[in-house]
């Protein structure tokens, strides 16, 4: 189903994940840019008129029920929702070329794996990778394990809340070459994003890479939220209780830096998604980035450290 078809048939829907999830559907050109998308006067007016935030009571409830809401999402949609992510396959191709020798095994962690739309294309294409995959939705993890391409020799799926459960309970410390964070961090409360990144850092090898792709500031999905869905700056709740943050590159770079990473690539991807039948274009904005865990990282200062890079610099 295309974006505009959804708009047409779900006119009263406050926001539907489906409408924004089809980032690979009907693309008509893509550009990368260092600057955020420019809004029209009308879009600016609409965004700035949305001042009222969801009540604290409801916000606390949404945070408590985040896992439940995503699990219900997979109960409703099963594996029929997200499309296979070919962006990751392309990016991973580039990283694979960095192998020191051809038969070198690469270890990947897909954090917030959903039902495996990122990992299964990768496992099919590269026979020499091992993939850890985790999600806090038990249903999503079960779907991954039931996939015919899942085999324990090449893949290990487990349940984990990235903001609470230590990844090192399932993945050896400093053992992973590449972590993928694909449309996952946007679902985490901004106050807890750094915890999730520090958790990821613990299992990443020094010199290892985080591949990030997620919603960018002023994406079409952000502008579609109706009043009553705003949780905070660039943070919204959908009708099904799942939440979405829209990243500026500055916010993301600072977040990763504070968790001890170095920025390698960090740029907006602009594309228009088109319904060919109706000839309507909508502007999609994603943020696509690579961050590196330096050879001497903050993990020396202890797991899930809350110290800022500034504090660490002063200690150096
Ligand atoms: C939009 S889906 C993306 C799934 C997958 N990465 C993909 O690209 O298809 C976001 C996923 O993040 C998971 N998630 C959200 N918050 C999480 C958390 N705190 N810990 C682990 N997983 C989380 C959700 O359950 C959901 O499966």
**Using one digit for the tens of pLDDT, what is the confidence trace for 49-96?**
877 899 999 999 999 999 999 999 999 988 777 777 777 777 777 777
Specify the ligand 1 atom closest to the Cα of 164: 19
Do 52 and 227 contact (CB within 8 A), yes or no? yes
Q: Is 258 in the pocket of ligand 1 (CB under 6 A)?
A: no
Do 48 and 222 contact (CB within 8 A), yes or no? no
Q: Which pLDDT value is given to residue 102?
A: 78
Q: Determine which residue's CA is closest to atom 10 belonging to ligand 1.
A: 184
For 272, phi and psi rounded to 5 degrees? -110, 135
Task: Show Cβ contacts of residue 28 under 8 Å, excluding neighbours closer than 6 positions.
Answer: 271, 272, 273, 274, 281
Q: Which pLDDT value is given to residue 315?
A: 31
Q: Which pLDDT value is given to residue 301?
A: 42
Q: Which pLDDT value is given to residue 32?
A: 86
For the whole model, what pTM was predicted? 0.85
CA nearest 242: which of 140, 109, 100?
A: 140
Q: Which pLDDT value is given to residue 157?
A: 98
Q: Which pLDDT value is given to residue 282?
A: 87
- In CATH terms, the fold of domain 11-315 is Rossmann fold (3.40.50)
Query: Ligand 1 mean position to 134 CA, how many Å?
Result: 9
Specify the ligand 1 atom closest to the Cα of 196: 19
Given a cut of 70, the residues of the chain with pLDDT beneath it are: 1-29, 275, 277-278, 297-316
Q: Is 85 in the pocket of ligand 1 (CB under 6 A)?
A: yes
Longest CA span, the chain: 60
């Amino acid at each position: 189903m295309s974006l505009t078809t959804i708009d047409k048939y779900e006119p009263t829907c406050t926001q539907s994940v489906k409408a924004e999830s089809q980032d690979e559907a009907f693309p008509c050109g893509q550009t990368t840019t260092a600057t955020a998308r420019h809004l029209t006067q009308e879009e600016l007016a609409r965004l700035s008129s949305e001042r009222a935030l969801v009540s604290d009571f409801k916000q606390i409830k949404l945070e408590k029920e985040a896992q439940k809401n995503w699990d219900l999402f997979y109960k409703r949609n099963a594996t029929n929702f997200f499309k296979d992510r070919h962006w990751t396959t392309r990016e991973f191709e580039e990283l694979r070329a960095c192998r020191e020798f051809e038969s070198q095994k690469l270890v990947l962690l897909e954090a917030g794996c959903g039902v495996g739309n990122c990992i299964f294309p990768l496992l099919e294409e590269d026979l020499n990778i091992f993939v850890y995959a985790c999600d806090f939705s038990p249903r999503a993890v079960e779907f991954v394990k039931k996939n015919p391409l899942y085999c324990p020799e090449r893949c290990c799926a487990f349940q984990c809340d990235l903001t609470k459960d230590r990844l090192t309970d399932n993945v050896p410390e400093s053992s992973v070459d590449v972590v993928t964070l694909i449309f996952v961090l946007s679902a985490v409360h901004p106050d807890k994003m750094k915890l999730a990144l520090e958790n990821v850092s613990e299992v990443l090898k020094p010199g290892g890479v985080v591949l990030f792709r997620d919603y960018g500031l002023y994406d079409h999905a952000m502008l579609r939220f109706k009043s009553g869905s705003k949780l905070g700056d660039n943070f919204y709740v959908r009708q099904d209780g799942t939440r979405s943050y829209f990243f500026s590159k500055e916010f993301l770079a600072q977040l990763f830096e504070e968790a001890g990473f170095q920025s390698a690539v960090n740029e907006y991807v602009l594309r228009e998604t088109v319904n060919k039948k109706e000839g309507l274009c909508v502007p999609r904005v994603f943020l696509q980035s690579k961050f590196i865990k330096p050879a001497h990282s903050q993990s020396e200062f202890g797991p899930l450290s809350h110290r800022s890079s500034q504090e660490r610099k002063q200690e150096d």
